[in-house]
Amino acid sequence: MVQEWGFYLQLISTFSVLFPLVIGLLYFQEIGSVFRYFIGFLIVGFAVDLAGWMFYIIENDCGNHVVRYAYNLFEPLFLIWFLMHLGSNSKLKFLLINAWMIVLPLWLISVFFNDFFSVYKTITQIFIAFISCFCILEVIEKDSKIMSSLAFWILFGIFFYNFCTFFFMSFVNTALGLDLWYLHNIVNVTTNLIYFFGFCFSFRSISKLGHN
């Protein structure tokens, strides 16, 4: 019963990204280029999840591992690039520009040593959560109407996801981590809802300006 419940929760987690994706694509021309790339990032993540389901059905573990390992490099590198374009602090930008020199070697180690995977994910997620928190503070200082700020909502979603999931990743190779892994799907669904509400509030503000 628990396994069946976890299966449906994982299925909901996979398709929950359609909420922000649909509304983001509807207003694709209304947003800046950096946010268009973020929508592309969501599409890539959705495609990877769908590929995971396909490999699960055809029982191709090797194909699933190849796709997942590739995405595990793409995800932090994209988020670092995204944060670099939203942040304005010069020291922060310098840190983000050079972050790949740490991320890439750690990823390579995780590919060859499976037990290191949780360490790699924990380090990258703590780093991204830390930087996104600083970017959120910058947005709050510059924009008095944060509820209609798309940057705020996306940054909040990035912070929430990475801050919550690094806890699960640190225990991924333990019995406790396996027991709590279903909570990762709840975090994923919540993150996609944060993105969805961000797009809704932001585009509602744009619509109001268009009618004035």
In the chain, where the domains are located: 2-205
Whether the per-residue pLDDT at 174 is higher than 80: the answer is no
Determine the average pLDDT of the residues in 180-197.
88
pLDDT digits (tens, 9 = 90+) for 112-152: 998 898 889 989 999 999 999 999 999 998 877 888 899 99
In this structure, CATH architecture of domain 2-205: Up-down Bundle (1.20)
pLDDT band at residue 78 using 50, 70 and 90 as cut-offs: very high
Which H or E element spans position 50? Answer: helix 33-58
pLDDT at 103 over 70: yes
DSSP for the chain?
-HHHHHHHHHHHHHHTTHHHHHHHHHTGGGS-HHHHHHHHHHHHHHHHHHHHHHHHHHT-HHHHHHHHHHHHHHHHHHHHHHHHHH---HHHHHHHHTTHHHHHHHHHHHHH-GGGHHHHHHHHHHHHHHHHHHHHHHHHHH-S-GGG-HHHHHHHHHHHHHHHHHHHHTTTTSHHHHHHTHHHHHHHHHHHHHHHHHHHHHHHHHHHHHH-
- Over residues 4-13, mean pLDDT: 80
Position 212 pLDDT exceeds 70 = no
As a whole number, mean pLDDT of residues 189-195 equals: 96
The confidence score (pLDDT) of residue 118 equals 83
| More confident: 138 or 179 | 138
Summarize the confidence of residues 49-66 as an average pLDDT: 89
CB 194 within 8 A of CB 157: yes
Secondary structure class of 17 (helix, strand, coil) = coil
Is a pLDDT exceeding 90 seen at residue 4?
A: no
* pLDDT bucket at 81, cuts 50 / 70 / 90: very high
pTM: predicted TM-score of the whole model, two decimal places? 0.89
pLDDT by residue (tens digit) across 87-97?
888 888 899 99
pLDDT higher than threshold 60 for residue 177: no
Instruction: Tell me the pLDDT of the chain averaged across its residues.
Output: 86
